[in-house]
């Protein structure tokens, strides 16, 4: 049994456990297609194929898996109408909508600092031939 230090500093003087939780959150919602799906649905309910067209570049299979994951986590509600051909609508739940707030803040950060990052990259890449 190894002894682990507990006093690991994390975000804003919190402990290491916080980082792990953050990692879990990002595991859930941090991937490309999940973000795109949440973004697309933030405007209102949408059908499967419409989502696929809106997002663009996503495979049939990955969109299905992404939506299943969001549904499982309670972020998206799936409503199937037993018509022929079938019609399925997806929409954000209140939980899903609540996610858009921290994401919007992260987006603001990105918009504010993307230039800085771009510059830093160029400098870094220059300094390596």
Partner DNA sequence: CTGTATCCTTCGAGATACTG
Partner DNA sequence: CAGTATCTCGAAGGATACAG
Per CB under 7 A, residues contacting DNA are 31, 47-50, 58-62, 64-65, 67-68, 78, 80, 85-88
Binding of a copy of itself at residue 65 (CB under 8 A)? no
CB of residue 13 to DNA, shortest distance in Å: 21
Q: Between residues 60 and 114, which has the closer beta carbon with respect to a copy of itself?
A: 114
- The two tokens of residue 7 are 């006093």
Assess contact for 79 and 93: CB atoms under 8 A.
Answer: no
Q: Between residues 86 and 118, which has the closer beta carbon with respect to a copy of itself?
A: 118
Q: Which does 55 bind (CB under 5 to 8 A by kind): a copy of itself, DNA, none?
A: a copy of itself
Residues in contact with 44: Cβ distance below 8 Å, sequence separation at least 6, in sequence order: 91
Q: Tokens 């919602």 identify what position?
A: 29
**Using alpha carbons only, how large is the chain's radius of gyration in Å?**
19
């Amino acid at each position: 049994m190894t002894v682990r230090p507990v006093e690991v500093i994390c975000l804003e003087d919190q402990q290491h456990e916080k980082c792990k939780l953050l990692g879990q959150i990002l595991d859930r919602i941090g991937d490309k297609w999940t973000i795109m799906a949440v973004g697309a649905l933030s405007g209102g309910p949408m059908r499967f194929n419409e989502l696929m067209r809106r997002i663009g570049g996503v495979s049939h299979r990955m969109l299905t898996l992404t939506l299943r994951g969001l549904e499982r986590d309670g972020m998206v509600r799936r409503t199937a109408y037993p018509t022929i051909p079938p019609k399925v609508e997806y929409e954000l739940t209140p939980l899903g909508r609540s996610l858009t707030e921290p994401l919007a803040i992260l987006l603001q950060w990105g918009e504010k600092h993307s230039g800085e990052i771009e510059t830093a990259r160029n400098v870094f890449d220059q300094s390596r031939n």
